[in-house]
């Protein structure tokens, strides 16, 4: 969510001195593309499951997610090398961590990018869907307190850590199979941009966080020897709808906005699922197009957890760039 004010077309975006700005952003995905219409057959084949009731349930879930395509790390080659990943109750967390390179991931990135060994690094683990915005908040503080610095925020997600064969005792696993995707996103953040070579698109004006009391089990993730398991409460969309307006009003008060017309803002909402987006749209009385970037990210990539804010931001960036290319009206 942000101010809808834009500089005139054809002119560079002006940033407030000292404020963190988003200077660049991009995304990347694994090679394995999954078409949602073929997911059920492939998933049950790979896990050697022939339960007709579970198959029907997953088919229904796939139709309600609005997801069309996803990219995943999991592949037939990985299952051939690690067949134990598709077997119930085997301790496989070590294999999953090795495949995902979760431990020490920032070192792999620094080496791959040829960064100096003295580059300062911050690693945020196991933060789920909130990891992307948490990284933005940390990057904003670093950039504003270290003038001249440029912060690379890199996010990555792989659902291989939670891949499991279907089980009637764990119906919530089917929701994960129908919704989650893998990928990576990156942003460069800095203050006082050099306009001759840098093009700031968004200013990170303020950041707030709000924890709802007694909600700690509504999104419940546990790491075990069999990988990670998530349980999402069925009332989660309603909880978000009941609290999103109060959160937005508080944020707007901090920013100094008095006009509560949310349609005057641009939105890059984490697309946790269609029900959540629908509830936000309804409660804030948003025009349907205001959440287009989030809905498109969900349709193209699934719920890619912490990197979805990057995907939605990329769609918003493209929209702004298209507007900049339009002929200026006299």
Q: Is the pLDDT of residue 124 over 60?
A: yes
Q: Is the pLDDT of residue 35 over 90?
A: yes
Report helix angle 274-283 to 236-255, nearest 10: 50
Stretch among 14-18, 116-120, 135-139 having the lowest mean pLDDT: 14-18
Question: What's the CA gap between 330 and 120, in Å, rounded?
Answer: 49
Average pLDDT, the chain: 85
pLDDT digits 0-9 by tens, 263-296 = 988 888 888 899 999 999 999 999 999 999 899 9
Residue 217 pLDDT: 86
Which residue stretches of the chain are H helix?
36-46, 52-64, 76-81, 93-100, 105-113, 131-145, 172-179, 236-255, 274-283, 292-301, 308-325
Q: Is the pLDDT of residue 175 over 70?
A: yes
Q: Is the pLDDT of residue 328 over 50?
A: no
Give the rounded distance of the alpha carbon of 1 from its chain centre.
15
Residue 275 pLDDT: 95
What's the token pair of residue 190?
């800095």
Active-site choice (62, 129, 309, 311): 129
Residue 12 pLDDT: 43
Mean pLDDT of 234-254: 92
Residue 8 pLDDT: 37
pTM: 0.84
Task: Establish whether 248 is a catalytic residue.
Answer: no
Residue 9 pLDDT: 44
Question: What's the CA gap between 245 and 200, in Å, rounded?
Answer: 29
Residue 10 pLDDT: 40
- Sign of the torsion angle spanned by Cα atoms 282, 283, 287, 288: negative
Mean pLDDT of 60-86: 94
Mean pLDDT of 45-59: 94
Mean pLDDT of 123-138: 86
Mean pLDDT of 315-322: 54
Residue 311 pLDDT: 54
Residue 315 pLDDT: 54
Question: What's the CA gap between 176 and 184, in Å, rounded?
Answer: 18
Stretch among 102-111, 161-170, 198-207, 290-299 having the lowest mean pLDDT: 102-111
């Amino acid at each position: 969510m942000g101010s809808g004010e834009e500089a005139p077309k054809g002119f560079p975006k002006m940033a407030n001195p000292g404020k963190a700005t988003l200077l660049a952003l991009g995304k990347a995905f694994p090679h394995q593309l999954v078409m949602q219409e073929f997911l059920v057959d492939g998933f049950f084949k790979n896990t050697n499951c022939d339960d007709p009731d579970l198959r029907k349930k997953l088919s229904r879930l796939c139709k309600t997610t609005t997801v069309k395509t996803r990219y995943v790390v999991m592949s037939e080659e990985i299952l051939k090398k690690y067949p134990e990943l598709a077997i119930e109750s085997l301790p496989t967390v070590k294999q999953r961590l090795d495949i995902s390179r979760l431990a020490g991931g920032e070192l792999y990135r620094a080496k791959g990018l040829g960064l100096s060994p003295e580059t300062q690094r911050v690693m945020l683990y196991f933060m789920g869907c909130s990891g992307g915005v948490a990284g933005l908040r940390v990057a904003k503080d670093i950039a504003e307190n270290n003038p001249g610095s440029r912060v690379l925020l890199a996010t990555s997600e792989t659902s291989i850590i939670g891949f499991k064969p279907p089980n009637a005792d764990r119906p919530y696993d089917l929701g994960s199979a129908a919704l989650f995707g893998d990928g990576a996103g990156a942003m460069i953040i800095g203050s006082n941009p050099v306009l001759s070579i840098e093009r700031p698109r968004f200013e990170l004006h303020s950041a707030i966080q709000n924890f709802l009391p007694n909600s700690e089990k509504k999104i419940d993730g546990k790491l075990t020897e069999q990988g990670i398991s998530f349980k999402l409460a069925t009332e989660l969309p309603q909880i978000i709808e009941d609290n999103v307006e109060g959160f937005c009003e508080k944020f707007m008060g901090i920013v100094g906005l008095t006009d509560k017309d949310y349609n005057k803002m641009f939105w890059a909402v984490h697309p946790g699922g269609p029900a959540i987006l629908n509830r936000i749209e309804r409660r804030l009385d948003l025009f349907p197009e205001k959440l287009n970037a989030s809905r498109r990210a969900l349709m193209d990539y699934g719920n890619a957890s912490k990197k979805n804010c990057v995907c939605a931001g990329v769609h918003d960036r493209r929209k702004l760039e298209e507007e900049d290319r339009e002929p200026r009206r006299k």
